[in-house]
Each structure stands twice: as structure tokens, then as C-alpha cells.
Chain A
Amino acid sequence: MINIILNEWKMLVRNRVFIYLTIFFVLSLSLVVWMGINQNSAQQEYRNKAQRHVRTQWDNLEAMNPHRAAHYGSYAFKPNNLLNSMDGGINDITGNVIQLEGHVQNEIVYSEASQSLSISKFGKLKSSLLLQYVIPLFLIFLAYGSISNEKETQRLKLLIFQGIPMTRLVFAKSLSIWIYGSSLLLATVFIQSMLIRSDSEVFRRLTLLVFSYGSYYYIITSLATYFSARLKNNTSALSAILATWILWTIFLPKIWGNAVEKIHPLPSRMAFKAAMKEERSKGIDGHNPSDKRREELKNKYLTEYKVDSLQQLPINFDGIVMQEDEEYGNLVWDKHFGSNYTILQKQKGLYQVSGLLNPFASLQSASMGFCGTDMIHHLDFLKKAEDYRRILIKALNDKHAYGGSKTGDWGWTVDSTFFRSVQGFSYESPKINDQMNYYLIDILCLLWWGLLVTFMIKLNTNKKIIL
């Protein structure tokens, strides 16, 4: 097998077109990686600067009522994962800034796509674009004629005649092209790891990326070589593999994606907001309206402090009410957002199942996941931002309630010393080891396809196809 692989490589490197194309790919990938990293760093620096600016403003707030500060709020900037430079995933279409304030959970806004020129709305040039579309296409062009050329020139008989089993020949040809694709992949990953601060987490993610892309390249080259061996001539082999590639990369993702949205539909933004507002004011399921809740809370505190009126309370009841309303609002949010979260996870899970039919879907999902730019990572950011909002607002409400003011004392203020004592927002992307359960299906689908094409070659490339 090694002789066949070496021979294939010898022929490839003597082909000038191949050499020029390889140089073109290496340069393109290097450039795209470098541009991606620069772009990523610039964006990250901008966001860090904005986050610092927001914090400085917070730290230097003039003396004010804590509740006023809760409306002033803060902002959470979604940081770019280091590997966002390889695969931007959904980051370009989701927002990257969320305003955190009392009473309300705001939506994340200012997506890249919403601010870009129309041409860049279709996605930035990242190495994933080359690695997912361009290189597999080139591998197809290298592989589709690998056996059919031998057949058409009658060289196949000579080769088989030298005692090489047909399956070994097909595997060797396929592997020689796979090695080429993998070399480009490794070069990309190497350049990427050289240009960024690589810690063990980045290394783990890159390893998983190499595995996913490597598996996909094995599938695509083996299938192209299989078609080349099974079909009568070059034209048939090329048509078959290109049709498969188009089906995988264009049609199936759209068809399946639409089907997933129909099977697990998300409520519209209007319906979502209306339901939240309704339940917050009238109570979850309409059984516990806000005025009733307020009355119960008042009685509870009057009993607890053994006083007759709110003015006699040693604390500021307004702060208690606001925190209670906040917590009730959180319950409503958790219910609705939790439901959306479940739907989004179901959508993702169902989409990932399409990997059984379409390995490209598994590759895309794995690539985004391992680069930390998919929906799972986005939802994690939203959850952490919301958790922080709750900590921030609770700190302000507690200060309002227990800081020394009395009920109705809206003119009471605290100075910046207090504001500085409230912790700032910091976010760290989840570790891939903790998230692997989301991507196991992608890995399994890629493995399933790898085994499938291996068995197809093993079982269906026999001597009958030689003549």
C-alpha cells in the first residue's frame, strides 16, 4: 500500500498545476488564518475596551439611589472565542452586546451582520470556509479519476495483475489524497496555533477539529474513489460525487433545517414578549397577580417586624418589593426562556441527527462547536449574562432595602464606593470537556460514515469492475 501512496505522491508533485494549486491553498489558508486572527483580536480588543469603559462609568457613578442605578444598568460584551478566527459559526448573526438592567431581560443586539455592508452579511472569509467547501471540492477533483483513469487507460489490469487486490488499490489511492487534504488541514491548524495564545483548552479543541475535518476528508475522498472504481468512466464518477457533494452541502442542510423548524417551532418574538409581560403582571398561569403578591409580601414583613405600617419598618420595603418582583420576573423568564432553550436544543439535536444522512452537517456542527461559536456556546453566554444581571440587581435592591433608608425614601442615595464594591461581569467560554455530550452525535455520525464508506469499498470493489 505504501508503494502506491508514494507513487501517487510522486506523480502529484511532478504535476505543475497541482504544485501551483497547493501553493495557492497554503497561501490562501495562511492569509485567511492571519486575517481571521487579526480581525478576532481587533474585535476582542474593542469589546474589552468597551467593557472596561462601561465598568469605569459604573465605578464613577455619581451618588444616586440604587434603584436608579439598576435602571442605569450595565452591559455585557460577548467575548470572541480564540478559535472564532477559524469558524465564526453563528457569531456573525447573533448580537454581541446585552444591556443588563432591572425589571427586564433585554435581547442581545448589534450583530456583525446587522452592521456590515450587504456583501459581508453572507459571512466572513474564515479558514472554515476553505476547509469545508474549497478543499473538499479539490479533493473530489483529485479523487474522481483515480481509478476510472486507470480503467480507461487499461492500466488497471496491469496493476491488478501485479498482485494488488482491488480493495487495497482503492484504499491506497484514497489515502494518498486524504493525506494531502489532511496536510492542508494540519498546516492551517499549525499556523493557527502559532499565531494565538494556545493553552490546553485550545489544544483540545484543535485536536477535535483535526479529527472532525480529517474524518470528513476521509469520507469524501473514499467516496469519490469508490465512485471512481464502481462507475464506468470519469464523467460518471465526477457527476456522482459532485451530485452527492451538492446534496450534502446545499440541499440537505436547507431541507433538514426547515423541517427541524417545523417540527420544533420557536414562538415568535412578539408572542414570547407578550406572554412574559402577561405572566409577570398577572402571575404565572394567571393565578398570582402582582398586586396580590405585593399585599402578601407587605403582610409578611409587617408580621415579621411586628409593626402596623410600612413607615414603621426599619427597612425600605420598596427594595423588598422590587427584589420580589425581580425574582418573580426571573421565574417567568426562566419558564419562557427555558422553554425556548429546550426548543433550541431539540432543534440542534434533530439537526445533528441528519449527520446519519449527511456527514457535512456533522462536520459543520462539530466545527462550530469546537470553535466555540455555535448555539450551545451562545446560549451559555446568555445564561451567564442573565445570572450576572440577577446578582447585580439583587445587590442594588438589597442595598435599597437594607442600606439604611426607609420605605418611600426615593431620594436616598449611595455613593460610588458601594457601586465599586459590586463585582463586574466577566465571562469565560465553557470548557470543551464539559460540552462534549452535545457533540458526541457529530463525532459518531462522522465515524459511522467513515465505516460505511470503508465497508462499501471492501464489499463492492471486486474484480468484476476491472473489465
Chain B
Amino acid sequence: MISVQKITKSFKDLKAIKSLTLEIDEGEIYGLLGSNGAGKSTTINILLGFLKPDSGNASIKGIDTSSNYHEARKYIGYIPENVNLYPYLTGLENLDYFCKLTGKNYGHNKLEEFLNKCGLDNDSHHRRTENYSKGMRQKVGIAIALAKEAKVYLLDEPASGLDPLASNELSGLLRQLSSEGAAILMASHDIFRVRETCNRIGIINNGELVKEMDTSEVSTKELENIYIEYMQN
């Protein structure tokens, strides 16, 4: 469902991505582990259609994200590191607004259903998001993607800054989405969270995918050792 084939991307003299290849099927959660500047966000931006690769191609459900990004985006739900909602609007109003931008005009009950599914308690639906925690905003962000009926979820450092409980809830939510057939790419440097959430993990360093493995093959400790080894190399 998510396909990245030998993409390269440079910014002036800096090679951000070097011949990166990824395949993520439906029902799969792929964790892209890497340090800051490793190329995770660049990869996501290429999949979002905000950046064009210098060579290779990236596609969502077979739709090229460079040449046909408008079409590809219809299937993508994107959750950035910080989901910044409109502070003067309530969670429900934010969701309603973002839905209307995609042309979807859901009723009040349906919107509440999306928020509930993402774990946002009923009391918070009608509170302005200026007082929301980061985890609550992430939930609304996922509800926006959910309401968009996304088949693919791209998450850029979603667990950064979340407390353990919120992180755990996020993992559970993503696993639920994957069980419903979504393909999820989660870029992160949180080894524990990636290990807890994903089915498959790729380690990216200096724009190169240096290691891929199934989560079932490694414990968190082993993953940490592998990661540190590659980073030091």
C-alpha cells in the first residue's frame, strides 16, 4: 500500500535520502527509526507530496505521490509531531472544520463517534483545545485522519512529548487501525514505543535504510543495541 522505490533526495550538497526502498502493506505498522536528521521527515514529506524525489518513486495505493499528489492524499492521514489545532475551537469543532475541508459534512453524533474511537473522553469534546494536552491533540489529529477515511497513516514522531499513558493509548489506537486494514508508517526515535507499536522496523541513518527487521525477532534491549551500533557506525 505504501511503496518507496529507490528514492534519493538532496538539498544542495546534503544527501538527505540515498536510494531508500520501503514496502508497507495493509494491516502493517512500520516503524522508521532514526536520529534527528536521518531522513525520516524527508521520506514522509516525499510520501505527502510536499517534496519531489530526485530519483526513484514513491506511491500510495499505486498512485505516484510526486505527479499525482492530490489523488494520493485522499488516502493518507497525516499526524505530525505536534498536532496544532485551532485553540479557540473545541475538539469537536476542530474535527468538524477539518472534515468540511475535505468535503465531508458529518453530523454531530458521527463526529463524537470518531473522537470516542480515538479515546478522547466525552467531556473534552466541547472544550476549547487551547487547554488540551499534547496527547489529546494527537487523538483529535488521528480522528481527523479517521474521518477522512484514510487507508494510510503517516506519523512523524507521534509519541514525542507524550506521557507514558498517552503513548500507550496511541500504540493501542494505531494497532486497532492496522487491524482494520490501515497501512501505517511511523517515523520516530523512540525505540521503546516503536518496538511496542510496530510490526516491522527499519533503521535509517544518513538517509540510508541500514537495517530492517520484524518486531517479533527482537526484544527492546536488542533493538536498542542494534540501533546504537548503527548510529555509532
A contacts, CB < 8 Å to B? 3-4, 7, 10-11, 14-15, 153-155, 157-159, 161-164, 463, 466-467
| B159 CB to nearest A CB, Å | 16
Q: Which of B49, B51, B84, B98 contacts A154 (CB 8 A)?
A: B84
On whether A161 and B82 interact (CB within 8 A), knowing A3-B97, A3-B100, A463-B50, the answer reads: no
Which residues does chain B contribute within 8 Å of A161, judged by CB atoms?
A: 48, 73, 76, 78
Residues of B within 8 A of A (CB): 45, 48-51, 70, 73-74, 76, 78, 80-86, 88-89, 93, 97-98, 100-103, 141, 144, 148
The distance in angstroms between the C-alpha atoms of A467 and B46, with both chains bound, is 11
Which residues does chain A contribute within 8 Å of B70, judged by CB atoms?
Answer: 163
Provide the bound-state CA to CA distance between A153 and B93, in Å. Answer: 18
Whether the Cβ atoms of A158 and B83 lie closer than 8 Å is yes
18 A-B pairs besides A10-B88, A161-B48 with CB distance below 8 A are A3-B97, A3-B100, A4-B101, A11-B88, A14-B89, A154-B81, A154-B82, A155-B86, A157-B48, A158-B83, A162-B102, A162-B148, A163-B70, A163-B73, A163-B74, A163-B103, A463-B49, A463-B50
A139 to chain B, nearest CB (A): 19
Residue ID in chain B nearest A159 by CB atoms? B101
A53 to chain B, nearest CB (A): 61
Q: Which residues of B contact A466 (CB under 8 A)?
A: 50
Residues of chain A within 8 A (CB-CB) of B82 are 153-154
Nearest-CB residue, chain B, relative to A161? B78
| CB contact under 8 A between A11 and B78, given known A164-B101, A466-B50 | no
Q: By the criterion CB–CB under 8 Å, are A158 and B144 in contact?
A: yes
Q: How far is the CA of A15 from the CA of B81 in the complex (A)?
A: 27
Contact B148 A10 (CB under 8 A): no
Known: A3-B97, A7-B86. A158 touches B78 (CB 8 A): yes
How far, in angstroms, from A155 to B79 measured CA to CA in the complex?
10
With both chains docked as a complex, state the minimum distance between the C-beta of A166 and any C-beta of chain B, in angstroms: 11
The CA of A4 and the CA of B101, in the complex, are separated in Å by 8
**A87 vs B88: C-alpha distance when bound (angstroms):** 38
Contact, CB under 8 Å: A467 / B51: yes
Query: Which residues from B are CB-within-8-Å of A11?
Result: 86, 88-89
Partner among A4, A10, A164 whose Cβ is within 8 Å of the Cβ of B89? A10
Complex Cα–Cα for A467 and B11 (A): 13
A157 and B101 CA atoms in complex are apart in Å by 13
Chain B residues near A463: list those with CB within 8 A: 49-50
B86 and chain A: residue at smallest CB distance: A11
Q: Which residues of B contact A163 (CB under 8 A)?
A: 70, 73-74, 101-103
B69 to chain A, nearest CB (A): 8
Q: Is B84 a contact partner of A10 (Cβ separation < 8 A)?
A: no
Contacts of B102 in A (CB 8 A): 162-163
Q: Which residues of B contact A15 (CB under 8 A)?
A: 88
For the complex, give the distance between the alpha carbons of A202 and B102 in Å. Answer: 46
Q: When the two chains form their complex, are residues A10 and B93 in contact, meaning their CB atoms are under 8 A apart?
A: yes
Q: List 15 A-B contacts (CB under 8 A).
A: A4-B101, A7-B86, A11-B86, A14-B88, A153-B84, A154-B82, A155-B86, A158-B80, A159-B101, A161-B48, A161-B73, A162-B102, A163-B73, A163-B74, A163-B101
Measured between beta carbons, the chain B residues less than 8 angstroms from A10 are 88-89, 93
A147 to nearest B CB, angstroms?
A: 14
B86–A157 touching, CB < 8 Å:
no
Asked if B98 contacts A157 (CB within 8 A), the reply is no
Give Cα A31–Cα B73 distance, bound, in whole angstroms.
52
When distances are taken between beta carbons in the complex, the residues of chain B under 8 Å from A7 are: 86, 89, 97
Q: What is the minimal beta-carbon distance from B113 to any residue of chain A, in angstroms? A: 19
**What is the chain A residue whose CB lies nearest that of B93?**
A10
For the complex formed, measure the closest distance between the CB of A462 and the CB atoms of chain B, giving whole angstroms. 11
Instruction: Provide the residues of chain B in CB contact with A157, threshold 8 Å.
Output: 48, 50, 78, 80
B188 to chain A, nearest CB (A): 17
Docked Cα-Cα span, A164 to B144, in Å, equals 15
A10-B93, A467-B45 known; A162 and B84 CB under 8 Å? no
**A residues within 8 A CB of B76?**
161
Q: A11-B86, A467-B51 are in contact. Are A158 and B98 (CB under 8 A)?
A: yes
| A158 surroundings in chain B (CB, below 8 A) | 78, 80, 83-84, 98, 141, 144
Provide the bound-state CA to CA distance between A232 and B106, in Å.
35
Q: Is the CB of A162 within 8 A of B45?
A: no
Give CA–CA (A163, B89) in the complex, Å: 21
Give A15 to B74 CA distance when docked, in angstroms.
33
Report the separation of the CA atoms of residues A14 and B102 in the bound assembly, to the nearest whole angstrom.
24
Chain B proximity of A19: nearest CB distance (Å): 12
Which residue of B has the minimal Cβ distance to A163? B102
Docked Cα-Cα span, A402 to B48, in Å, equals 97
Chain B hits for A3, CB < 8 A: 97, 100-101
Tell me how far the C-beta of A17 lies from the nearest C-beta in chain B, rounded to whole angstroms: 12
User: How far is it, in angstroms, between the C-alpha of A162 and the C-alpha of B77 when the chains are bound?
Assistant: 9
C-alpha spacing A344/B51, complex, angstroms: 57
Give the CA-CA distance A154 to B93 in the complex, in Å: 19
In the complex, what's the smallest C-beta–C-beta distance from B80 to chain A, in angstroms? 5
CB closest chain-B residue, reference A164: B101
A155 x B74 contact (CB < 8 A): no
**Which residue on A lies nearest to B94, using beta carbons?**
A7
A15–B101 alpha-carbon span in the complex (Å):
23
B residues less than 8 Å from A164 (CB atoms): 101
* Shortest Cβ distance from A8 into B: residue: B86
Bound form: Cα–Cα A14–B76 in Å:
32
Q: Closest 7 interchain pairs by CB?
A: A153-B84, A162-B101, A14-B88, A3-B100, A11-B88, A155-B84, A162-B102
Q: Which of A155, A162, A467 contacts B50 (CB 8 A)?
A: A467
> Bound complex: CA of A335 vs CA of B74, how far in Å?
75
B90 to chain A, nearest CB (A): 10
Q: Which residue of A lies closest to B83 (CB)?
A: A158
Instruction: Give min CB distance, A122 to chain B, whole Å.
Output: 40
B100 surroundings in chain A (CB, below 8 A): 3
Residue of A nearest to B76 (CB): A161
A164 CA to B99 CA, complexed, in Å: 11
Q: Which residue of A lies closest to B41 (CB)?
A: A467
Nearest chain A CB to B187 CB, angstrom units: 14
* A152→B80 CA distance, assembly (Å): 13
Complexed CA–CA distance, A153 and B85 (Å): 9
Q: Which residues of A contact B45 (CB under 8 A)?
A: 467
The answer on a CB contact under 8 Å between A154 and B89 is: no
Give bound CA distance, A155 to B98, whole Å. 11
How near does chain B come to A149, taking the closest CB pair, in angstroms? 9
